[in-house]
Amino acid sequence: MTDVARVAGVSHQTVSRVLNGHPSVRPATRARVLAAIEELGYRPNLAARALVTGRSRTLGLVTLETTLFGPVTTLYGIERAAREAGYFVSVVSLGTAIDPGSLEDALARLRAQRVAGVILIAPLTSSLLALPSLPIDLPVVVVEGDPDGAFATATVDQRAGARAATEHLIGLGHRVIAHVAGPPEWLEAHQREAGWRAGLADAGLAGDVVLVGDWTARSGYQAGLALAEMTEVTAVFVANDHMALGVLRALHERGRAVPEEISVVGFDDIGEAEYFTPSLTTVHQDFDELGRRSLDLLLCQLDSSNSVVERLVIAPRLIERRSTAAREGP
């Protein structure tokens, strides 16, 4: 920086002013400084800047170590938005579960880095236990978690999506609609089941048949084998597309035609859903927008330093494909 100042014939402070877009620099001076920066290939030292300002323009992103469609897509959405806003993203992945200890470790790491704020992708019920240990002195946005907590949140309205799926099936004349739920440690699993129940309750139908999976196709397959035996069931709402794939496979193996005998609806709209056999009716979530909006929430907290807890909800939408049809028979 001193070198740049010397080349431009100004003081280092003027260079700093140019770098930070300070208004009171004469255009001619600014141009000379910029030329010197260019000539010397100067890049400001962010560590020094962070030291003196106390801000790092880095934000922490804590996520589960999962390749599941949702969290990964959200991660990229956040990274892109952060980059466009001039922030760096420091990622810390937790293991396969969120416990207070590992979450605290992750936050300690990020706090040591003096991150401006933290975005937490916390889709597990265990996050409800872990969240109280979150520091209140650091701006935090929780994505896909914390339904009642004290933090700003951004979520997709899982309940509404599940309800839409269920109502779609009811509209097709189905009366016995089973559910293949996600693992109970995932909040989304609960919310989707709740949406399914709400949809059924509105139509005066019973929510008796619930099978529990673990998001994998394998578990869906096992649920599908059980469903194939339940002749009264004419429709299934499956809590994610991967499990729906397993359900389709099992029903196919057992000679139960989809959608003629049983309708199947998934959740997520992964890229492959359109190419399942048959192509899958499912609920689409815009994870990319979720990422962008949750960054906005964090930046809003940083800018205004207001402590208003904002809750941002994004609406999912039903995608109708070939795995659902009107109920046949009486």
Partner DNA sequence: GCGACATCTGTTAACGCTAACATGCAACGG
Partner DNA sequence: CCGTTGCATGTTAGCGTTAACAGATGTCGC
CA 129 from chain centre, in angstroms, equals 19
* Cα–Cα distance, 290 to 113 (Å, whole number): 25
CB-based burial of residue 45 (10 Å sphere; 0-12 exposed, 13-18 middle, 19+ buried)? exposed
Residue of 129, 67, 130 whose CA lies nearest to 104:
130
Q: Which is nearer to a second copy, 25 or 72 (CB)?
A: 72
**If binding means CB under 7 A, how many residues of this protein chain bind DNA?**
27
- Region near DNA per CB under 7 A, out of 45-53, 57-65, 173-181, 228-236: 45-53
**Cβ atoms 161, 283 nearer than 8 A:** yes
Q: How far is the CB of 155 from DNA (least distance, A)?
A: 35
Residue 1 interacts with DNA (CB under 7 A): yes or no: yes
Pick what 276 binds: DNA, a second copy, none; C-beta below 5 to 8 Å, kind-dependent: a second copy
Other Cβ atoms closer than 10 A to 109: 14
**Residue matched to tokens 């999976």:** 213
Residue 271 interacts with a second copy (CB under 8 A): yes or no: yes
Q: Given candidates 6, 7, 16, 207, which one binds DNA under the rule CB under 7 A? A: 16
Q: Which is nearer to a second copy, 202 or 253 (CB)?
A: 253
* Cα–Cα distance, 26 to 234 (Å, whole number): 75
Pick what 205 binds: DNA, a second copy, none; C-beta below 5 to 8 Å, kind-dependent: none
Residue 13 interacts with DNA (CB under 7 A): yes or no: yes
CA 151 from chain centre, in angstroms, equals 16
Q: Given candidates 31, 35, 51, 326, which one binds DNA under the rule CB under 7 A? A: 51
Strands 317-319 and 282-284: antiparallel
Q: Given candidates 31, 38, 39, 45, which one binds DNA under the rule CB under 7 A? A: 45
* Cα–Cα distance, 123 to 82 (Å, whole number): 21
Residue 257 interacts with a second copy (CB under 8 A): yes or no: no
Which amino acid is present at 269? D
Torsion angle defined by CA atoms of residues 145, 147, 151 and 157, in that order, rounded to the nearest 10 degrees? 70
Tell me the residue ranges of DSSP E strands in 23-157: 58-64, 88-94, 117-121, 140-143, 152-156
Tokens of 259: 């959608």
Q: Which is nearer to DNA, 21 or 330 (CB)?
A: 21
Q: Which is nearer to a second copy, 107 or 169 (CB)?
A: 107
**Footprint on residues 216-255 left by a second copy (CB under 8 A):** 216-218, 220-221, 242, 245-246, 248-249, 252-253
**Footprint on residues 52-111 left by DNA (CB under 7 A):** 52-53
Residues of this chain that bind a second copy (CB under 8 A): 43-48, 50-51, 56, 58, 61, 65, 67, 69, 72-73, 76, 79-80, 83, 88-93, 108-109, 111-114, 216-218, 220-221, 242, 245-246, 248-249, 252-253, 271-272, 274-277
Residues that bind DNA (CB under 7 A): 1-2, 9-17, 19-20, 23-26, 28-30, 44-45, 48-49, 51-53
